[in-house]
Structure 1
Amino acid sequence: MTDGSIQVVVAAEAAEAAEAAEAARYMRRTLVVRSEKRV
Structure 2
Amino acid sequence: MVAPLPFLFCLGLLSYQAPMDRVNLIYSMLCYFAWG
Choose between structure 1 and 2: higher helix proportion.
1
TM-score by length of 1: 0.40
| Greater relative contact order structure (CA < 8 Å, 6+ sep) | 2
User: Which is higher, the Rg of structure 1 or of structure 2?
Assistant: 1
